[in-house]
């Protein structure tokens, strides 16, 4: 028994695993991260697990989507083997005495990959059967697609090595070594003393290995082989591995150039596997070349890269498409902000907006109508879907009166993707186009995947400096994940959102459609950027600042005023929506043509629910509202429940306790909710309890769905169905009745116009 356990422990697969656990922690961490993502232990709320378990290709989850995920995994699997071979083969000199040494190394390096594949397939089968309700045939085909995709790439690698790798028989047959294989070609890498390692007392002990037939074979001694010959074999195999990894990067660059074509936008899960394969190759190359200096070299390279990219020619900044970056930059300073917020512009803009309000009032046909504000929270495609569902259902129930009574739409991130699309459909119907903006098919449009294109572009294009140009609204920019996000969103929404901001000026001014504020956050100074085709300088600071100059600080920026000289009205609506939904790292921060240059990101970091904008708007026009309306109805459309469970702070170890005080930094949205409740209380005081009503619509998962929909740019079919059903939640049905009672409109939904 003892001898049997000894043979198992000193088998090559087990010893390779021991070596990885001892030495290759950076490479092992990638396997750990993927397992945590797929199992849902990491980034569950962001929906990362669905990128692997519910992979989409060309808008469908099927054999081909999982085939491409398999191809991506095959790339990672082979990169893992190539890198492991580069770093570890010299510990096992017996490999050089075997035919096809790399093949045998890869076969014996199976423990981690096989364990991962079994875990992945098990979780996928459970997810698709339990949460997606797929048939056995569909699940089987998806799993088969993954395995065939992996096999395809492995076979391509195998063919390459079949014709390029040399083994001991080749050199013995020719009795010589090519001169170039006798020299070192790896700068910085210390030479391995093979004479020392060949001694049985000093080499990494291995008794048996598995051959191509998966049969155990005894390890032969290599003490009688010339060390130079063994070294030549390893070097020649290593060189082929490095060439193949370099070729993979070239292929990615080519694919990045073809990103405009939908068939080349592979599933996000596949892109992440390919990204991991590149990272594996890069980390392995540094460790191979520099050995014990590798960590120092990696840190030095990162610092050097940071210094290098400070220079404009080595740094790429994403731009807002439609703005002029070639003209004189806009001045962005405290002086100019205060001057704009304290000038006659405010009175002019207020007067122009009051004209819009008067036209809106006339269109309602009521002497004193309710003024409706729609505030939609961030939350990816979940929020976009929920926002459209709420507004379509409520407007259908109210026979068109909801949109007729709505003056302003505002909010953050995904919610505003849905609201902007809905408003554009409404605008086209108002202008006479033959469409029904409440058709459920439009919700299907906004729920289509966006993340696959983004993830693929990050891997194939953004890891390198974007170099492929394109033209938008008369100016030239470069393609990156911001570009592909807009392109995919435009395709998903039938090309209807491909408008300029200025194109909405007339429709808003005539009160044909509600005004819409997009409010991305300014990274430089934590102010909000208010993007609107109307003059909105009155939104730049609290109204008290007009009466008492200097009493309050400017906390928002009128985009159209500040960037008038940079063609602000020419800004692409898709770019404005992207600026409003720029989740960190997923999309690039947008750099604007100002001096100093400012960058903007997701509106949700300062106003995830649109309440700040709504409060400011009501404060500014309070007197007009009190004189001409019954009051304000604020629709609070949120993709998640406001109530959060209290997290206990006890039962933590010393390391957890050290980081515990930083936990409040992650409660940004919770703090916003508290502040928003305070703002709503202020509005009750300003307008009066009978003249201000907050009607909430919260998405809550149904009892049949154990998982809440994720907040990403991908939503599964099951999640979408659950979001649509949430309108039937008792609290939301109560809100619909309250809205109906306030607006005084009866009636039933039109057939096919609600869910």
pLDDT > 90: percent of the chain? 46
Neighbouring C-beta atoms of residue 431, cutoff 10 Å: 10
**What value does the mean pLDDT take over residues 174-189?**
40
**What value does the mean pLDDT take over residues 101-111?**
87
Lowest mean pLDDT among 305-319, 446-460, 502-516, 543-557: 305-319
**pLDDT tier for residue 182 given thresholds of 50, 70 and 90:** very low
Higher-confidence residue of 207 and 710: namely 207
**Sheet order of strands, 515-518 included:** 515-518, 406-411, 370-376, 631-638, 692-698
- Residue 175: pLDDT over 70: no
Q: What is the pLDDT of residues 123-141, one digit of tens each?
A: 999 988 887 788 999 999 9
Measured between alpha carbons, how far is residue 99 from residues 104, 153, 172, 207 in Å?
8, 22, 12, 18
Highest mean pLDDT among 244-258, 292-306, 611-625: 611-625
- Residue 224: pLDDT over 50: no
Residue 210 region, left (φ>0) first, then alpha (ψ -120 to 50), else beta? beta
**Cα–Cα dist 200/164, whole Å:** 30
- Residue 192: pLDDT over 70: no
- Residue 325: pLDDT over 60: yes
Torsion angle (degrees, nearest 10) of CA 352, 355, 360, 363: -140
**Cα–Cα dist 458/480, whole Å:** 8
Higher-confidence residue of 299 and 192: namely 299
Contacts of 358 (CB under 8 A, 6+ apart): 628
- Residue 732: pLDDT over 60: yes
Lowest mean pLDDT among 128-142, 271-285, 403-417, 505-519: 271-285
pLDDT of residue 170: 45
Higher-confidence residue of 62 and 240: namely 62
**What value does the mean pLDDT take over residues 514-532?**
96
Helix, strand, coil percentages for the chain (3-state, nearest 5): 60, 10, 30
- For 389, the token pair is 């569902």
**pLDDT tier for residue 647 given thresholds of 50, 70 and 90:** low
pLDDT of residue 223: 52
- For 305, the token pair is 């890269």
pLDDT of residue 475: 94
Measured between alpha carbons, how far is residue 151 from residues 74, 142, 155, 241, 263 in Å?
7, 14, 6, 18, 21
Closest alpha carbon to 455 in 590, 271, 603, 723: 271
- CA terminus-to-terminus distance, the chain: 67
Domain with CATH 3.40.1090 in the chain: 332-641+662-702+731-743
pTM of the model: 0.84
* Partners of 306 in the β-ladder: none
Q: In CATH, what is the architecture of 332-641+662-702+731-743? A: 3-Layer(aba) Sandwich (3.40)
- For 630, the token pair is 């019954």
Q: What is the pLDDT of residues 592-610, one digit of tens each?
A: 999 999 999 999 889 998 9
- Residue 643: pLDDT over 60: no
pLDDT of residue 645: 58
- Residue 171: pLDDT over 50: no
Neighbouring C-beta atoms of residue 661, cutoff 10 Å: 8
**Cα–Cα dist 568/524, whole Å:** 20
- Residue 337: pLDDT over 60: yes
Peptide bond before residue 596 is cis, with ω within 30 degrees of 0: yes
- Residue 197: pLDDT over 90: no
- Residue 90: pLDDT over 90: no
| Three-class secondary structure assignment of 455-505 | HHHHHHHHCCCCCCEEEECCEEEECCHHHHHHHHHHHHCCCCCCCEHHHHH
């Amino acid at each position: 028994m003892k001898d049997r356990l000894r043979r198992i422990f000193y088998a090559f697969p087990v010893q390779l695993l021991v070596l990885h656990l001892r030495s290759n922690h950076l490479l092992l961490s990638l396997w750990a991260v993927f397992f945590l993502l797929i199992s849902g232990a990491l980034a569950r709320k962001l929906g990362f697990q669905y990128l692997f378990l519910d992979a989409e290709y060309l808008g469908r989850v099927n054999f081909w989507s999982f085939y491409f995920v398999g191809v991506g995994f095959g790339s990672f699997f082979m990169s893992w083997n190539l890198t492991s071979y580069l770093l570890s083969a010299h510990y096992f000199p017996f490999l050089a005495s075997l035919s096809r040494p790399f093949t045998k190394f890869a076969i014996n390096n199976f423990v981690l990959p096989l364990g991962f594949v079994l875990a992945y397939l098990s979780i996928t089968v459970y997810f698709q059967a339990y949460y997606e309700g797929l048939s056995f045939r569909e699940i089987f085909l998806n799993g088969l697609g993954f395995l065939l995709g992996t096999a395809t790439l492995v076979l391509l690698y195998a063919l390459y090595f079949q014709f390029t790798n040399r083994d001991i028989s080749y050199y013995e047959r020719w009795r010589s070594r090519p001169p170039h294989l006798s020299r070192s070609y790896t700068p910085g890498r210390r030479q391995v003393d093979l004479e020392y390692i060949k001694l049985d007392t000093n080499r990494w002990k291995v008794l048996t290995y598995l051959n191509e037939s998966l049969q155990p074979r005894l390890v032969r001694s290599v003490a009688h082989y010339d060390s130079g010959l063994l070294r030549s074999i390893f070097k020649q195999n290593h060189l082929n591995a490095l060439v193949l990894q370099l070729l993979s990067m070239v292929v990615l660059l080519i694919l990045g150039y073809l990103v405009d074509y939908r068939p080349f936008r592979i599933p996000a899960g596949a892109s992440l596997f390919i990204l991991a394969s590149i990272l594996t190759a890069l980390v392995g190359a540094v460790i191979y070349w520099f050995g014990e200096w590798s960590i120092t070299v990696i840190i030095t390279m990162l610092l050097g890269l940071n210094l290098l990219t400070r220079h404009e020619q080595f740094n790429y900044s994403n731009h807002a498409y439609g703005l002029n970056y070639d003209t004189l930059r806009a001045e962005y300073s405290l002086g100019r902000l205060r001057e704009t917020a304290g000038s006659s512009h405010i009175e002019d803009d207020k007067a122009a907006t009051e004209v819009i309000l008067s036209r809106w009032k006339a269109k309602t046909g009521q002497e004193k109508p309710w003024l409706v504000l729609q505030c939609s929270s961030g939350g990816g495609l979940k929020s976009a879907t929920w926002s459209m569902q709420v507004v379509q259902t409520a407007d259908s129930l109210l026979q068109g009166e909801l949109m007729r009574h709505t003056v302003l739409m505002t909010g953050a991130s995904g919610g505003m993707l849905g609201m902007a699309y809905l408003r554009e459909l409404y605008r086209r119907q108002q202008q006479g186009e033959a469409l029904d903006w409440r058709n459920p098919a439009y919700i299907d449009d906004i729920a289509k995947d966006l993340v696959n294109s983004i993830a693929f572009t990050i891997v194939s294009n953004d890891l390198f400096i974007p170099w492929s140009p394109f033209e938008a609204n008369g100016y030239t920019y470069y393609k990156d994940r911001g570009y592909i996000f807009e392109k995919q969103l435009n395709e998903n929404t039938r090309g209807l959102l491909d408008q300029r901001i200025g194109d909405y000026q007339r429709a808003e001014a005539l009160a044909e459609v509600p005004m819409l504020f997009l409010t991305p956050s300014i990274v430089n100074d934590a102010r909000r950027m208010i993007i609107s085709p109307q003059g909105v300088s009155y939104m730049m600071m609290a109204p008290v600042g007009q009466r008492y100059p200097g009493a309050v600080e400017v906390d928002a920026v009128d985009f159209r005023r500040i960037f008038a000289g940079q063609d602000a009205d020419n800004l692409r609506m898709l770019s404005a929506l992207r600026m409003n939904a720029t989740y960190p790292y997923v999309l690039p921060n947008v750099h604007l043509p100002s001096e100093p240059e400012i960058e903007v990101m997701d509106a949700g970091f300062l106003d995830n629910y649109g309440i700040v904008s709504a409060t400011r708007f009501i404060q500014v026009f309070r007197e007009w509202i009190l004189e001409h309306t019954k009051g304000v109805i604020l629709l609070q459309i949120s993709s998640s429940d406001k109530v959060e469970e209290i997290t206990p702070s006890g039962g933590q170890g010393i390391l957890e306790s050290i980081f515990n005080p930083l936990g409040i930094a992650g409660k940004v949205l919770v703090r916003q909710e508290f502040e928003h409740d305070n703002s709503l209380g202020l509005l009750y005081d300003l307008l009066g309890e009978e003249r201000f009503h907050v009607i909430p619509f919260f998405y809550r998962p149904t009892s049949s769905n154990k998982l809440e929909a994720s907040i990403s740019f991908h939503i599964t079919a099951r999640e979408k169905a659950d979001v649509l059903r949430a309108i039937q939640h008792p609290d939301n049905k109560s809100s619909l009745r309250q809205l109906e009672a306030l607006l005084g409109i009866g009636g039933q939904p039109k057939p096919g116009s609600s869910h």
